[in-house]
Structure 1
Amino acid sequence: MKKEQWIDDILSSTNSLKKLHPDENLLRQIKEKAATNEVNYKMLWFVAASVILLVSLNLRALGNVNTVQKPVNESQADNPFSESNQLY
């Protein structure tokens, strides 16, 4: 019951607020820009170049995953120290 009263109080608190209207010039400018079918070609080329770059980087990364690695000898796998990092 208290929860319903609280919800009603919150919803009724917006009744006293004044409704705002945008400036007529601003509203007209927004409508004019929305009505034009103008394309920003500089941005279009930028987006196309970005997509091509991302696709090529992904293809290159996938190509590197499929490369064959040199097999490890059993003696190298058993030895925790490499030959260049001798501790004695």
Structure 2
Amino acid sequence: MEKENWINEIIDSTNQIVQVLPSDGLYAKIQSQMNVQKTLDTKWVWLAAASIVVLASINIKIIMTEIQSEKDSEKTALVASISDTNQFYKNNYE
């Protein structure tokens, strides 16, 4: 019974809440702030674009260097596999 009384007291406490009305100019103030467009300075836009171009260029250069080093290592392996003695046949007479 005591628990039920406590619950009813809590529920009845909401009956004493008074609705608060906003000021007349609040809605207009909120609307005006929403309509204000924030723009970026063109300096920052160009800086971002230049940064992207620099990063893309660095990435392309690294990729091209890796491809070239792979080709060089393939050439080195091919050269190493070729005999440098000019003896094409094994000499069995020695």
TM-score, normalised via structure 2 length: 0.39
Which structure: larger Rg?
A: 2
